[in-house]
Structure 1
Amino acid sequence: MNTEKCNAWVERDKKVFAPTQHLSYYPMVIKKVDQDVIYDEDDNQYIDFLSSASSLNLGSCNPIITAAVKEQLDNYSQYTIAYTYGRKSIEYAERLTSVYPGGVPAKIVFGNCGSDANDAAVKFARAYTGRSKIITFINAYHGSTYGSISMSMVTTRMRAKMGPMLPDIYCFPFYDVSYDDETCEKECIADIERAFATYLPAEEVAAVIIEPVQGDAGLLAGHPIFMKKLYDLCKKNGILFISEEVQQGFYRTGKFFGIEHYDIIPDGIIMGKSIGAGFPLGGFMAKAEIMDCLPAPAHLFTLGGNATACAAGVAAFDYLQSDEFQKILADNTKLLEECVADLRATFPDVITGRRGIDMSCALVVTKKDENGNDVPDGDGTFKILYRAYERGLLIISLSENILRVQPPLNIRPENLKKGFAILKDSIRDYVNGDIPDSVMEFRAGW
C-alpha cells in the first residue's frame, strides 16, 4: 500500500505536536470518513472497527446528524449558555434526563468531554454528601483532566511525573465476569469492607465511581454479583453509586446505558464520547436533588453544551430511539456474534476469549507457552492488527493482547462482514508465519 502522503503529514505532525497527543498505531492521516469507511490522504480505504474510540456510534457524516448541524450553523454556531439559554441544549437535556434509569427525576450539566464530566461527578458527590473520599477501581480509565486522571488506574504512563494527584481517591479490585460466582460472592467486596473496618471510614466516602464495562482495561464487564453487592454496600452506607458511561453509553452495549444490564438505579451517570455524535461534549446527569446542591459557577464552561454539539446530539438521540435504528442494532449485533463465533471456531488456539457486551466487543489473543498454557500474545496481537490495517481495516488493541472491535452501531452489514473477513485473513497470515518481524518496529499504541 502507498502511504507516501500520510508519512509526510506524520513527519510534520512530529514537529509541532507533543508526543503525549497520540497513541497512534499506524501512519493513518484521515482525509475523509463516509459513515463506516475511512479514506486516508493516499486514498487508501479502511473499514472502521474503532468508531473514533466509540465517539461515533452512528459513524461520521451520518446524513441525519449532518443535516441537523447544517441547520444549526445557519442560525449560529454557538453562544455560551453560561450567561444565556440555548434551545438545543435545553432540548437535549430534556431528552437525556428522560432516559434516566428507573424514570428517576434527573438534571444535567454539560461540559466539553467525558474527562470533565468525571470531574463534575466528584464535585457534586462531595458537595451533596459533605464527604471527601472517592472509590474507584484497578484498570479504570476516566480521562485526562487532573480529577479524572487521579481516578484512572489503567497505566502508570498516565500518572508518572505529574503528582501529587487529587487527594482522597481510593482504588480497589474490579471483579469481572471471568470470576466464578462462588469466588465473587466470597471476595468481591471483601477488600472494601476491610478498608471500612480499618483505615477508610465509610461515613467519609462520598461516591463509588465505576465503569459497568471497563473499556480501556480490555472491555471487562462487571460480574453481576460484584455490581449488586457493591451497590448494596453503597446504599447501606449512604455512598453515591455513579455509573461511568463515557465509552459504553448510547447503545454501545445494546442498552442506552451499560448499567441497565444490572438491577441498579445509579445516583449519577457520567457521559462523553458519543453524547455529542462526533462533536466535543460531555455531561454529568444525576438525581435532581444531587444536581441542585451546587450554585453557579461551581461547574460551568464557556463552550459546554454548545449549540452545534447539542444539535448533533438531539438528532442522534432521536434516531437512536427510532424503530429503524433499533432493528439495525439488533441485526448488526446478531451478525457480529456470528462473525465472532466463526473466527473463534477457525482459530481456537489464537482467539481464546470474547469480552464485552454486544457491539462493544473484545477478542483475546493468546499463544501456548512451553507448558501448553494459554498466555497473552502481545507481539501476535500487533502483527494481526497491523496486517489488518494493510488490508483495509482500522482496528486497535487494548491492554497487551486484546483486539478492540467497536464498529459504528449502524455499520452496513456488508462492511461488518468484510471487516471480519479481513481480520480472518490477517490472523491466518499470522498463523502461517507470513507477517515479518520487521513490522514490530512500528509497534505503538496502548
Structure 2
Amino acid sequence: MSGSSAELHRRRTTAVARGVGSVVPAYVARAGGGTLVDVDGREWLDFAAGIAVTSVGNSAPRVVAAVRDQVERFTHTCFMVAPYESYVAVCERLNALVPGAGERRSALFNSGAEAVENAVKIARHATGRPAVVVFEHAYHGRTNLTMALTAKNMPYKHRFGPFAGEIYRAPMSYPLRDGGLSGAAAAARAIDVIDKQVGAENVAALLIEPIQGEGGFVVPAEGFLPALREWTAAAGAVFVADEIQTGFCRTGDWFAVQREGVVPDLVTLAKGMAGGLPLAAVTGRADLMDAVHPGGLGGTYGGNPIACAASLAAIETMRELDLCAAARRIEATMLPRLRGLAERDARIAEVRGRGAMLAVELVRPGTLEPDPVATATVAAACHRAGLLVLTCGTYGNVLRFLPPLVISDDELARALDILDSAFA
C-alpha cells in the first residue's frame, strides 16, 4: 500500500491524532547516507538524522544484517522473563565506553525519556533524597516526570499538568545571553540558587545536558560542567549527564562530557545508540546502579533483542568508520561556511555547537531579540529546496543541524549551498 505524499497526508488527517506533528508533509520511501527519498521520488538532503538518531545512516549494512539475523531467531522474550546474550553484550559495551575508571553497570529501556525517569529513580533510591535540579532551557522528555524536568512550555507542557514535584530549576550558562559570564561564575550563580532554594542536603540528582538540545544547542562556557560536577561530589548528590542527543560520536567524542574530562555518576543514553531502533540506557557507577532492589528497574520491551542486535552493530560501525573523526570533519567543513554566512547576515547572532551538532541563533539585527519568524522562514525555504532542517530553542529562533555522521562531502556541500540560498 502506498501513494503520493498528498494522498498519504489526506489519509493521515483521518487516522492520526492531530497532536502528532511533522516538520514536512513528505512521506519517506527509502533513505541512506545523507539523503531521504519520498514516495514522490523527491530527494531530500538530511540535516536532521531523525533528531540525531541515524548517525550511522538509515540503512547501515551491519545494522541491517544484524536485525535480519535476530528477527529470524526470535523477536522477544522479555529480558526480565527469559534473558538473552545481546542485552548483556550491549551493557558490556556501554560500561566500557562511558567515561570513568571505576566499575560500571547498565540497564536498558526504550526511549530517552524512560532513561531519564529511571536515572531519577536510581538517584533518589540510592541517596534517599527527593530533590532533582535541572536547568533553564533544558529538554528531557514528554512523560509526566520528564515534562516537569523540561523547561519549554509550548508544545511540550502546555495544559498537560499538574506535573511531578520536587523539581527545581537553576540558571544555565548561556554565553550569548548571560553577558559572556565565565563557566566558573555561571556555575557559582547556579550553585547559589540551589543552596538557597533547595538545600544541598536535599538534592538527589543534578541533571544536565552537556550541550542542550531542544533548548537551542546551548554550549555552556568552559568550566561550567566541571564546577557543577565538583559541587555534586561535595554535596553527595548524583551528577547525571543527559547524553541522549550528544552521545555516540555526535559531538566529535563518544560523549560530550569527555571534552572537559567530566566523569558523571550516571549517564542517560538513547537516540544514536541503535541505528534507528528504539533503545535507551542508564549507565553509571556500580554502587549506584546496584543500590536498587531486584525488580525495581525494567520494562516489558526494554532491551528488546532486535534493538540490542542493532545497537551492537551500530557501535561496531562507529568504531570501524571512526565516526568521532567524521563528526570533527563535518564541523571543520560546516563551521567556516556558517561563520561566513553570519558575517554576511546580521540576523545571525551566534554560530555554535560541536562536531555534527551545530546551530545558528537568529535575532533582529543589532539586538538580542529572538526572531522566530525569520527562523521559520529560512527553514521553510530550505524545505522547499530539498534540505530537511529543524528549528529549536526556548524562543524558537535557532536553526539546528544534525547530519548523519556518514554524510558524503558532496551531500554536505550541496546542503550548505541550499542553506546559503535560503538566507539570501
Q: Do Structure 1 and Structure 2 share a fold, with TM-score over 0.5?
A: yes
Unmatched runs of 5 consecutive residues or more in structure 2: none
What's the offset of the Cα at 1:134?
0.5
1:387 matched to 2:385? The reply is: no
Going from structure 1 to structure 2, the CA distance change for 1:281 and 1:166 (only over 3 Å counts) comes to: same
Q: CA deviation at 1:176?
A: 2.9
In the alignment, the residues of structure 2 paired with residue 187 and residue 53 of structure 1 have an alpha-carbon distance, to the nearest angstrom, of 29
Among candidates 327, 342, 345, match of residue 348 of structure 1: 345
User: For the structure 1 residues 29 and 238, does the alpha-carbon distance in structure 2 shift closer, same or farther, using more than 3 Å as the test?
Assistant: same
Q: Any conservation in 2 of the 1:92–1:310 contact (CA below 8 Å)?
A: yes
- Shift in CA distance, 191/324, structure 1 to aligned 2, threshold 3 Å: closer
Distance 1:85 1:219, change over 3 A: same
Paired letter, 1:355: R
Aligned CA-pair RMSD: 1.9
Does the 8 Å contact 1:124/1:291 carry over to 2?
Answer: yes
Contact conserved, 1:139 with 1:155, CA < 8 A, in 2? no
Partner amino acid, structure 1, of 2:384: E
Is the contact made by 2:209 and 2:243 (CA closer than 8 Å) also made in structure 1? yes
Residue type of the partner of 1:417?
Answer: A
- What are the within-5 Å matches in structure 2 for residues 289-300 of structure 1? 289-300=287-298
Query: What SS does the corresponding residue of 1:162 show, helix, strand or coil?
Result: coil
Tell me which residue corresponds to 1:431: none
Are the structure 2 counterparts of residues 379 and 91 from structure 1 closer, same or farther at C-alpha, using a change threshold of 3 Å?
same
| Partners of 1:7 and 1:189 in 2: CA distance | 53
Identity of aligned residues (%): 25
C-alpha separation in 2, matches of 1:102 and 1:31: 42
Matched pairs, number: 419
1:351 maps to a residue whose letter is I
Tell me which residue corresponds to 1:414. Answer: 410
How far apart are residue 307 of structure 1 and its match?
Answer: 0.9
Mapping for residues 329-368 of structure 1, pairs under 5 Å: 329-345=327-343, 347-368=344-365
Question: In 2, Cα distance between the equivalents of 1:294 and 1:151?
Answer: 22
Runs (4+) of structure 1 exceeding 6 A deviation are none
Given that 1:111 and 1:304 are in contact with CA atoms closer than 8 Å, whether structure 2 keeps it comes out as: yes
Map of 2:138 onto structure 1: 140
Instruction: Sort the Cα spacing of 1:121 and 1:427 in 2 relative to 1 into closer, same or farther, 3 A.
Output: same
Pair 1:6–1:349, CA change in 2 (3 A): same
Deviations 1:369-412 (A, max 9, x none): xxx43543322222211111111111121132211111001111
Cα offset, 1:54, TM superposition: 0.6
Once residues 179 and 99 of structure 2 are traced to their aligned partners in structure 1, the CA distance between those partners, rounded to angstroms, is 28
Of 70-79 and 354-363, deviating more is: 70-79
11-20 vs 163-172, greater mean Cα deviation:
11-20
Partner of residue 152 from structure 1, selected from 150, 153, 168: 150
Mind listing any 5+ residue stretches in structure 1 that lack a counterpart? Answer: 429-446
Q: Within 5 A, what are the aligned runs for 1:86-105?
A: 86-105=84-103
TM-score normalised by length of structure 2 = 0.93
1:336 offset after TM fit, Å? 2.2
The 5 A counterparts of 1:277-292 are 277-292=275-290
The 3 A distance-change label for structure 1 pair 288 and 30 is: same
The superposition leaves residues 128-155 of structure 1 with CA deviations (integer Å, 9 ceiling, x where unpaired) of 0011110011111101122211211122
**Which 10-residue stretch deviates more, 54-63 or 121-130?**
54-63
Counterpart Cα distance in 1 of 2:330 and 2:345: 23
Letter in 1 for 2:158: A
Cα distance change on mapping 1:427 and 1:231 into 2, 3 Å:
same
Aligned to 2:371: 377
Give the aligned partner of residue 223 of structure 2. 225
Query: How far 1:159 sits from its partner (Å)?
Result: 2.2
Q: Is the 8 A contact 2:182 2:223 kept in 1?
A: no
For residues 160 and 181 of structure 1, the distance between their equivalents in structure 2, rounded to whole angstroms, comes to: 31
AA matched with 1:393: L
- Report the equivalent of 1:433: none
C-alpha distance in 2 between matches for 1:195 and 1:37:
45
Distance 1:390 1:70 in 2: 36
Give a deviation string over 1:307-337, Cα, whole Å, max 9, x none: 1111111011112122554554443332222
1:397 corresponds to 2:391: yes
Structure 1 counterpart of 2:390, one-letter code = I
* TM-score between the two structures when normalised by the length of structure 1: 0.89
Note the C-alpha offset of 1:123.
Answer: 0.5
Q: Secondary structure of the residue that 1:321 maps to in structure 2?
A: helix
- Given residue 411 of structure 2, which amino acid in structure 1 is its aligned partner? N
Contact between 2:241 and 2:266, CA under 8 Å: does it hold in 1? yes
2:119 alignment counterpart:
121
SS in 1 for 2:55: coil
Is 1:307–2:301 an aligned residue pair? no
Q: Structure 1 residues 93 and 54, CA, compared in 2 at 3 Å: closer, same or farther?
A: same
Q: 2:239 aligns with which of 224, 238, 241?
A: 241
The letter of the residue matching 1:260 is Q
Alpha-carbon separation, structure 2, partners of 1:39 and 1:387: 18
